[in-house]
């Protein structure tokens, strides 16, 4: 099994990272949370131009996939940038429709591949269903929103109850884990930067061991989660996929949540500030911790597979 | 139209750049290599010209083996093929020698238009376009922020301290561009995968007909005599607002030609 990314996969990830950094993603996330979807939709269109969505759609429907490793690598970058919107849901819906087939697949997969369709998926709540062109239940059937809106810990996430509900798909769980890993990585980087810059008692706070140890713990957790994520992506289509995806989700949930808690401590009071960008990741890390199945549920799934 | 775009790999501007203490050349191992930022605008302009007038875009790079990463990225953006001038004998060449080596390589590729960034972020000499056009005996249009091609005529806007000049020339020509000219595209996944299959020709000194006695550090016309780290940034100027703060800021910006 080859875990190392190819030159092409790395270049694709770098491209997305640069695009998302140049595109003012944090501002789009804030606007999205405030109900203004226009900057988020423009960002969606830019991301679509890179061909990301086609990677989750089979060739017969105008895609190039499904390519789990490439999609995971890309979603990590979306997590790293705190991009708002149902990216994971749309990509997971594409994979689900690819398996269920039928007329919905024929109609929607080409549009998803082109990046023209925003899709939400009930797991059991449908993220940003009000901004979606199509809402699916867990079985991949078109579903109606019941109107019951749940607030999330992340103001950029609005959760809608859907008739029929549904369980998370393995592919979606994998992508959520990728998003979490990206968030954790971003939080570690911003915390390390801050620890190097912020001075107290005449020296950079990062020189104090109490901080170094916490940051090192975050790095260890993220590093341990990454091979589980890559391994799970490579296991797509094998009987071990479900188990490996759950293992990756547990590790990514714990790592990104630890990264969020540590970032908050390292930053001190400013970490609580809404206007300061790390708040975007901190809240998303907590919200995703229990989305697409809690760590306890995924631990149980790993346990059952052993 | 045969469009050649010159692409240089430079150390990532995000990381500190260093010269080697033994021969005062750039320490390329100390930082990741990236495409010189202004060259990305040159690539974008080359692709736009191709889209509007047809033809083929060739990336020409002179640099060590690891410059292939930058070539791949240029191909992923949409260039058709690449020529990589790579030879240990070229190491340490200065601008004058580089212009000679590129002239020789262009003799193999041919060209209707050569496009490059107006300077590189590492050496920042900004003279290559002028030297190259002199060697090639073709017109030079430097610091272009707008280029239009009509048949064999090329019209451009050239950025100056006081605004811009409108200049015209006849192709073939050498054009250097500034960052205001366009918005470079991001490579798509399809582009990245397609780049794998695009031809990259590797040329050594002999292949390109380059005389080894005219290139390389030992034969350079210029010499780095001494170098030192940039001084730490001094404290900025503080303007106390006495009702005229805005005017003072505008004055400062004007003195630096920002406005």
Query: What confidence score (pLDDT) does residue A133 get?
Result: 95
Does the beta-carbon distance from B189 to A19 stay under 8 Å?
Answer: no
Q: Is B227 touching A (CB cutoff 8 A)?
A: no
Q: Which residue has the higher pLDDT, B236 or A273?
A: A273
Domain ranges for chain A: 7-120, 170-305
Say if residue B189's pLDDT is above 90: yes
Q: Is pLDDT at B62 greater than 80 in this prediction?
A: yes
- Interchain contact, B189 vs A18, CB within 8 Å: no
A111-115, A127-131, A144-148: range with lowest mean pLDDT: A144-148
Q: Give residue B88's pLDDT.
A: 93
> Does A49 sit within 8 Å of B186, measured CB to CB?
yes
CATH architecture of the domain with residue range A170-305: Up-down Bundle (1.20)
Q: Write down the pLDDT at residue A120.
A: 96
Ramachandran sector of residue A50 (left: φ over 0; alpha: ψ -120 to 50; beta: rest): alpha
Residue B19 in contact with partner chain A when CB distance is under 8 A: no
Query: Could you read off the pLDDT of A226-264 as tens digits, one per residue?
Result: 999 999 999 999 999 999 999 999 999 999 999 999 999
Looking at residues A82-97, what average pLDDT do you find?
96
CB A98 within 8 A of CB A86: no
Nearest CA to CA, how far is A221 from chain B (Å)? 26
Percent of chain A whose predicted confidence (pLDDT) is above 90 = 88
Answer whether B73 touches A (CB < 8 Å).
yes
Least confident window among A48-52, B18-22, B148-152, B177-181: B18-22
pTM of the model: 0.88
- Domains for chain B: give ranges and CATH numbers: 2-224 (3.40.50.620)
Question: DSSP of B115-153, one letter per residue?
Answer: EEESS-TTT----HHHHHHHHHT--EEEEEEEEEEETTE
Interface check A48 vs B, CB under 8 A: no
What rounded mean pLDDT belongs to chain A?
94
In Å, how far is A147's CA from the nearest CA of chain B? 38
The pLDDT score that the predictor gives to residue A166 is 82
pLDDT at A271: 85
> How many residues are listed for chain A in this entry?
306
pLDDT band at A269 (very low <50, low <70, confident <90, very high): confident
Residue A94 banded pLDDT, cuts 50, 70, 90: very high
Q: Which of residues 86-145 of B touch A (CB under 8 A)?
A: none
Residue A306 or residue A29, greater confidence: A29
Tokens of B213: 């006695």
Whether residue B99 has pLDDT greater than 80: yes
Closest CB to B189 among A7, A18, A51: A51
All residues at 6 or more sequence positions from A176 whose CB lies less than 8 Å from its CB, including other chains: A88, A168, A249, A252, A288, A291, A292
- Measured between CB atoms, does B189 come within 8 Å of chain A? yes
Angle between helices A170-197 and A278-289 (to 10 degrees): 150
How far, in Å, CA of A106 to CA of A189, rounded? 42
pLDDT above 90 (res B233) = no
pLDDT score recorded for residue B122: 84
Between A14 and B23, residue with greater pLDDT: A14
Q: Are strands B56-62 and A158-162 parallel, antiparallel or unpaired?
A: unpaired
> Quick one: A7-120 is in which CATH superfamily?
Acyl-CoA dehydrogenase/oxidase, N-terminal domain (1.10.540.10)
Percent of chain B predicted with pLDDT > 70: 100
CATH topology agreement for domains A7-120 and A170-305: no
Whether the CB of B188 is below 8 Å from some CB of chain A: the reply is yes
Share of chain A above pLDDT 70, in %: 100
pLDDT-based confidence at residue A74 (cuts at 50, 70, 90): very high
Q: How confident is the model at residue A278 (pLDDT cuts 50, 70, 90)?
A: very high
Residue B204 has a pLDDT of: 94
Written as one string, the DSSP assignment of A227-291 is HHHHHHHHTTTSTTHHHHHHHHHHHHHHHHHHHHHHHHHHHGGGGG-TTSTHHHHHHHHHHHHST
CA distances from A299 to A88, A247, A253 (A): 21, 7, 11
Tell me the CA end-to-end span of chain B in Å, nearest whole number. Answer: 38
Q: Is the pLDDT of residue A32 over 80?
A: yes
How much is the pLDDT for A294? 95
Scan residues 18-37 of A and list those with Cβ closer than 8 Å to B.
Answer: 18-19
Q: What is the mean pLDDT of residues B21-40?
A: 86
Question: Is the pLDDT at B229 greater than 90, yes or no?
Answer: no
Q: Is the pLDDT of residue A126 over 90?
A: yes
| B19 pLDDT higher than 90 | no
* pLDDT tops 70 at residue A1: no
CB contacts of A46 in chain B (<8 Å) are: 186
């Amino acid at each position: 099994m080859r875990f190392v990314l190819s030159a092409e996969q790395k270049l694709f990830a770098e491209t997305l990272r640069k695009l998302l950094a140049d595109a003012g993603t944090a501002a789009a996330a804030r606007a999205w949370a405030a109900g203004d979807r226009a900057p988020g939709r423009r960002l969606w269109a830019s991301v679509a131009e890179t061909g990301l969505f086609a990677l989750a759609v089979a060739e017969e429907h105008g895609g190039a996939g499904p390519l789990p490793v490439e999609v995971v690598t890309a979603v990590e970058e979306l997590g790293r940038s705190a991009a708002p919107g149902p990216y994971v849901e749309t990509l997971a819906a594409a994979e689900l429709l690819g398996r269920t087939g039928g007329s919905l697949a024929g109609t929607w997969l080409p549009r998803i591949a082109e990046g023209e369709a925003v899709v939400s998926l009930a797991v059991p709540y449908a993220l940003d269903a009000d901004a979606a062109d199509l809402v699916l239940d867990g079985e991949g059937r078109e579903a109606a929103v019941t109107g019951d809106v749940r607030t999330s810990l992340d103001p950029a996430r609005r959760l809608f109850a859907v008739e029929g509900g549904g369980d998370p798909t393995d592919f979606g769980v994998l992508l959520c884990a990728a998003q979490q890993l990206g968030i954790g990585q971003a939080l570690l980087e911003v915390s390390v930067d801050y620890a190097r810059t912020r001075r107290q008692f005449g020296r950079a706070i990062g020189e104090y061991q109490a901080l170094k140890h916490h940051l090192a713990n975050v790095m260890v957790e993220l590093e341990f989660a990454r091979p589980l994520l890559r391994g799970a992506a490579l296991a797509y289509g094998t009987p071990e996929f479900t188990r490996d995806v759950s293992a990756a989700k547990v590790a990514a949930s714990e790592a990104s949540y630890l990264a969020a808690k540590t970032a908050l401590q390292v930053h001190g009071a400013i970490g609580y500030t809404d206007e300061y960008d790390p708040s975007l990741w901190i809240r998303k890390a907590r919200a995703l911790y229990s989305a697409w199945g809690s760590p306890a549920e995924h631990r149980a799934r790993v346990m059952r597979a052993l | 139209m045969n469009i050649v775009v010159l692409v240089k790999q430079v150390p990532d501007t995000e990381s500190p750049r260093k010269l080697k203490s033994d021969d005062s050349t750039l320490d390329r191992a100390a930082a990741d290599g990236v495409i010189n930022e202004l060259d990305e605008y040159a690539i974008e302009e080359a692709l736009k010209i191709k889209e509007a007038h047809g033809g083929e875009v060739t990336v020409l790079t002179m640099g060590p083996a690891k410059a292939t990463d930058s070539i791949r990225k240029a191909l992923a953006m949409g260039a058709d093929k690449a020529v990589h001038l790579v030879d240990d004998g070229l190491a340490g060449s200065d601008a004058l020698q580089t212009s000679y080596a590129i002239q020789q390589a262009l003799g193999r590729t041919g060209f209707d238009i050569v496009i490059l960034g107006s300077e590189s972020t590492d050496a920042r000499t900004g003279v290559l376009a002028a030297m190259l056009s002199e060697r090639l005996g073709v017109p030079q249009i430097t610091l272009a922020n707008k280029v239009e091609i009509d048949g064999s005529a090329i019209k451009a806007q050239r950025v100056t301290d006081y605004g811009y000049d409108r200049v015209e020339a006849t192709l073939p020509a050498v054009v250097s561009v500034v960052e205001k000219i366009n918005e470079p595209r991001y490579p798509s996944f399809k582009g990245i995968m397609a780049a794998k299959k695009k031809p990259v020709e590797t040329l050594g000194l002999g292949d390109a007909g380059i005389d080894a006695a005219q290139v390389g550090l030992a034969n350079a016309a210029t010499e780095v005599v001494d170098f030192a780290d940039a001084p730490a940034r001094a404290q900025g100027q503080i303007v106390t607002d006495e009702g005229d703060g805005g005017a003072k800021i505008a004055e400062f910006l004007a003195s630096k030609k920002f406005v």
